[in-house]
Amino acid sequence: ATTPGADAPTWPPEFAERYRAAGHWRGETFGRMLRERAAAHPDRIALVDPAPERRTWTYRELDERADRLAAGFAARGIGRGDRVVLQLPNVGEFVEVVFALFRIGALPVYALPAHRDTEIGYFCSFTEAVAYVIPDRHAGFDHRALAARVRERTPTLRHVFVAGDPGVHTALADVPVDADPPEGGPEPHEPAFLQLSGGTTGVPKLIPRTHDDYIYSLRGSNEICGVGADTRFLVVLPAAHNFPMSSPGWLGTLYAGGTVVLCPRPDPETAFPLIERERITMTGLVPPLALVWTEAGPAARQDLSSLELVLVGGAKYGEEAARRLTPALGCRLMQVFGMAEGLVNYTRLDDDEETVVTTQGRPISPDDEIRIVDDAGNAVAEGEFGHLLTRGPYTIRGYWRAPAHNATAFTEDGFYRTGDIVRRTPTGHLVVEGRAKDQINRGGEKVAPTEIENIILAHPSVHDVSVVAVADEYLGERSLAYVILRAGAEPLKPAAIKRFVRERGVAAYKVPDLVEFVGAFPHTGVGKVSKNRLRSTAVTHEQ
Ligand code: J2J
């Protein structure tokens, strides 16, 4: 189903027709969605950015702001289909910019605040981005200097917009113009943005999500989680992540006419007072954070009684930890097992406690197709574990501009190979048993070992390297780099390898947690490095 010249395969027409006929795809777009909400309840608060000074946006204000900003972007030559790399922390400008871009049909590329030169440089050049949006400084890092470096080597990049003090770039505050945005926004079947994949390859893959498919996943998520106009959702994880954006997240909350509150930092010291002050009803956490919150809950001096539901996902949440959440925080737990490529599973509000603490939920849609297969691709017996394959009304049929990778990441008939090992319970709930893909899940942050191996291989003293996951009590997994030095190379300290990776300019969560120097890797029968053997022999002392 790839049209010649298209950036990615899409759903074959018979599937698209089926999803429309079923009422899943309703021809909505994000631009019009906000316009309709602003008309229906203009004075309701849509967005709160509590720090450093509390700022609020009503639906009307957010809608008008998106218009002015869209007109300003258009006046600077940014148009439909253009890519804009967006790297903002949890600040109100994030939401303004996203809706401005939606309105003109330009595609945000969702970078994470932690990304550095390597990732940003790649996103800008690979997507031929025309603009890059940044904070001035965030978490002690000056994004303006990074932007200047990237701009120098990216010819397509015409604009750098800064939320805050612009330095040599353009202030985002100077962009809005008092005019209407250009006529004719994007079509519902077109991509709305490019989301990042967790990735198993040397460079992250980009995920084109359409207005139709993503809005369907929001509607489904809202119904399952009970999101409505009274919902006050706290965005604790980085807003660019698929989970806090859509499960049901800040976009789901805005779709339902609720209120989104942006949390600047995820620790209980920051989040708990906000929960009390803003009367937060719902939020989403990764398991390590859920642990920290659970431990802090009973001692908290704040009143958390407004909190009704906490979603936990992104990595496996241990059963014992899951049992402790409700007593500690006084709210319900819902597990969520999702992926930026599409498929999202939730436990349900009417599931019994056993199901909620021992499973990762079941799919949003009756039209989510699930196949659980063995290594040869044959269906396993019901209840046995195997590889999870899926296709459906909000799961992509291919990554953006990645035909070679798409040939292996999807089956001939369009099922996405998730790389997850699952089994299905008699109630249709999935239990994540493990992973077949070469990836490290560091408390919800995904690391592709190949990406880090390639960097370490560039070190002059390194002959070979293999990066693997090792179990960690708090994060679930951490990364360990096994390094073989060149014959005759001076011995190195682990810190030297870590520094080398850091200085290459990658997100801090990708720097190996542990480094071990070895003489040889264990090999499998076929001469390939055995990552399973490496994992099982891992020594995990502190470094
Ligand atoms: C085990 N592994 C899980 C879970 C994700 C909602 C929630 C999460 C994501 C997300 C998301 C897991 N137990 N509960 O996009 O909308 C692992 C799986 C999966 C991969 C996807 C959402 N929840 N995982 O985490 O694209 O391995 O999306 O394939 O970042 O995370 O990662 P990502």
**184 located within any domain:** yes
Residue 380: inside a domain: no
389 CA to centre of ligand 1 in angstroms: 14
For the domain that residue 65 is a member of, what is the CATH number?
3.40.50.980
Atom of ligand 1 nearest to the CA of 432: 1
User: Model confidence over 17-75: pLDDT tens digits?
Assistant: 999 999 999 999 999 999 999 999 999 999 999 999 999 999 999 999 999 999 999 99
- Residues 269-294 have pLDDT tens digits of 999 999 999 999 999 999 999 999 99
**192, 213, 234 - which closes a domain:** 213
Q: Which two tokens stand for residue 6?
A: 């298209």
Residues in contact with ligand 1 by the CB-under-6-Å rule are 198, 242-243, 246-247, 313-316, 335-340, 344, 360, 418, 420, 432, 435, 441, 444, 446
> Hey, which bits of 440-506 come out as E strands?
440-442, 445-447, 462-472, 476-485
CATH, residue 468: 3.30.300.30
Confidence of residue 203 (pLDDT cuts 50, 70, 90): confident
Ligand 1 centroid from CA 278, angstroms? 28
- Ligand 1 atom, smallest distance to 439 CA: 27
Look at residue 524 in the predicted model and tell me its pLDDT: 61
Last residue of a domain, one of 195, 213, 231: 213
Provide the Cα torsion 426, 432, 438, 442; round to 10°.
170
pLDDT of residue 523: 74
Q: How far apart are CA 218 and CA 239, in angstroms?
A: 15
Residues 6+ apart with CB under 8 A from 316: 287, 360, 432, 441, 476
- Reply yes or no on whether the pLDDT at 537 is more than 70: no
Return the best residue to mutate from 200, 339, 416 for the ligand 1 pocket (most ligand atoms within 8 A of CB).
339
Q: Write b or e for each residue in 252-277: b if 16 or more Cβ atoms lie within 10 A of its Cβ, otherwise e.
A: bbbbbbbbbbbbbebebeebbebbbe
Expressed in angstroms, the distance from the first to the final Cα of the chain is: 50
Q: 358 C-alpha vs ligand 1 centroid, how far in Å?
A: 16
Q: Band the pLDDT of 522: cuts 50, 70, 90.
A: confident
Domain count, the chain: 2
CB 188 within 8 A of CB 213: no
Query: Looking at the domain assignment, is residue 531 inside a domain?
Result: yes
In a domain, 525, yes or no: yes
Nearest to 284 by CA among 346, 371, 353: 346
pLDDT score for 225: 98
Domain containing 176 equals 23-42+58-213
Q: Is the pLDDT of residue 542 over 60?
A: no
- Which of 164, 179, 213 is the last residue before a domain boundary? 213
Pick from 4, 3, 17: nearest CA to 212: 17
Query: Do residues 132 and 110 make contact, with C-beta atoms less than 8 angstroms apart?
Result: no
Residue 331: inside a domain? no
Predicted structure pTM score: 0.96
Pocket test residue of 236, 237, 337 for ligand 1, highest count of atoms within 8 A of CB: 337
Answer left, alpha or beta for residue 397, where phi above 0 means left and psi between -120 and 50 means alpha.
alpha
Whether the pLDDT of residue 128 is over 60: the answer is: yes
pLDDT at 1 over 60: no
Quick one: tokens of 373?
């297969």
Banded pLDDT at 529 (limits 50, 70, 90) = low
What is the residue-averaged pLDDT of the chain? 95
How many Å lie between the centroid of ligand 1 and the Cα of residue 345?
9
> Per-residue pLDDT for 122 more than 60?
yes
Ligand 1 geometric centre to CA of 337 (Å): 5
What is the model's pLDDT at position 539?
A: 52
Query: Is 542 contained in some domain?
Result: no
